[in-house]
Amino acid sequence: MLKILKNVALYAPEYQGIKDVLICDTRIAHIADCIETPTGLGEVEVFDYSGLKAMPGFIDGHVHMLGGGGEGGPATRTPELMLTTATRAGVTTVVGCLGTDGTTRHMESLIIKARALEEEGLTTFIYTGAYEIPTPTLTGCVRDDLILMDKVIGVGEIALSDHRSAQPTHTDLAKLAAETRVGGMLGGKPGIVHFHVGGGPEGINAIFWMLDHTEIPVTQFLPTHMGRNQALLDQGLALIKKGGHIDITAGSKVPGQIMYLLNKGATLDSITISSDGQGSLPKFNEKGQLIGLKVGQMKRVYEVWRTLIQKHQVDISEALKLVTANPAKNLKLSNTKGAIKPGADADIVIMDDQLNIQELFARGRHMLSHGEPIVKGTFE
Ligand code: ZN
């Protein structure tokens, strides 16, 4: 039950120097310059990671763990998430959601899929709902889901400015946000309203309207796909300047977009990156016709993160915030997630000098070794 990771360059995400980390069952028990192997406490596994870096396990805040898609008909429904797709991507915590299809994908299936992944070793949460309003729930209402269902941390992804949305009015959205806020308060949850933002010209105007016309605080809203186009990125910047935060779906343009936001005065603390993993990434032409379809890859988040460091010279600790401390803070999980510190869950990624993922621990369980899974999902 005890593990000692010796001689790691520790990014907590702040750089702490060369340290030893003691893991007791699922948690980090102690961090020090040198931890001697204790005697009389049963078996102790000791791993010498000299020359390697230890960082918090990544948190991916937007994953279609149940599969999604279907925009091109039944044969285009995307497959479910398998455990090692997450662990190979350095991810130890996943937030699942439904998307376009709230008919053949159900909240009941989503919550049980989240529980399955948790049994297999990850930590999981879900958003209740899908694109549409009224949105599907477990108990019949968003507020009750938040209060009664442990895994539910907010509502989403509610589609805005998209031809696939339910074309909700600003008032519809404000009522949903109000219900989510109160449900979050009573349930001890963040109560996030997570928006899928499409390519329509309105962008996140609905969020700005709610900020102007209701008392709901800006921190309640988390729009994603904010790197979809330049206009949306600029709206995201405006939201950040109002004290809000945005999520960007990982892709090849994202490192450049993050640098743009930083140059315009945004701080990294307001931004998270997620994968849209297992979701469909459909391409539509100007007439709204489907012209292509891909499946979202969880590993893209790690690739964006690494590019920020290796091509744009962003400090490792700063870049880590985007995928560890920031999502943990948004999800109100900072006590246990997104940091390597005593008392936190032992979610740790070990990387080499080139930032290749070598080892992974999820709640203390050794999941990857030398870059390969040593724990696989039930059907892998
Ligand atoms: Zn989406």
Mean pLDDT confidence for 328-335: 95
Tokens of 146: 């938040």
pTM exceeds 0.85 for this model: yes
Stretch (H or E) spanning 304: helix 299-310
How high does pLDDT run on average in the chain?
96
pLDDT at 280 over 90: no
- For residue 311, with 0-12 CB atoms within 10 Å meaning exposed, 13-18 middle and 19 or more buried, which class applies? exposed
With beta carbons less than 8 A apart as the criterion, state whether 350 and 52 touch.
Answer: yes
- For residue 197, how far is its CA from the centre of ligand 1 (angstroms)? 7
pLDDT level of residue 72 (50, 70, 90 thresholds): confident
Position 69 pLDDT exceeds 90: no
> By C-alpha distance, which of 29, 3, 39, 2 is closest to 340?
29
Cβ atoms of 68 and 101 within 8 Å: the answer is: yes
Ligand 1 centroid – CA 162 distance (Å)? 10
Q: For 283-311, what is each residue's pLDDT tens digit?
A: 888 888 888 888 999 999 999 999 999 99
Burial readout 216-245 (b: 16 or more C-beta within 10 A, e: otherwise): beeebbbbbbbbbeeebbebbbebbeeebb
Q: Which residues pair with 54 in a beta bridge?
A: 10, 350
Cα dihedral: 180, 181, 183, 187 (round 10):
130
Distance 30 CA to ligand 1 centre (A): 39
Distance from the CA of 126 to the center of ligand 1, in angstroms?
14
Task: Give distance in angstroms: CA of 22 to centre of ligand 1.
Answer: 39
Coil vs helix vs strand at 232: helix
Query: What percentage of the chain carries pLDDT values higher than 90?
Result: 92
Instruction: State how beta strands 58-63 and 91-96 pair.
Output: parallel
Return the closest-CA partner of residue 201 out of 174, 163, 170, 257.
163
Point out the least confidently predicted range of 30-34, 74-78, 119-123, 134-138. Answer: 74-78
Q: What is the pLDDT of residue 372?
A: 98
Beta-carbon contacts of 258 under 8 Å, excluding residues fewer than 6 positions away, are 248, 268, 271, 273, 304, 308, 312, 314, 322
- The answer to whether 276 is a known catalytic residue is yes
Which residues neighbour 319 within 8 Å (Cβ) at sequence distance 6 or greater? 268, 305, 308, 309
Q: Determine the residue type at 176.
A: L
Q: Calculate mean pLDDT across residues 179-200.
A: 97
Q: How many A from CA of 329 to the centre of ligand 1? A: 21
Residue 56: pLDDT band with limits 50, 70, 90: very high
Q: Which of 60, 144, 162, 276 is catalytic?
A: 276
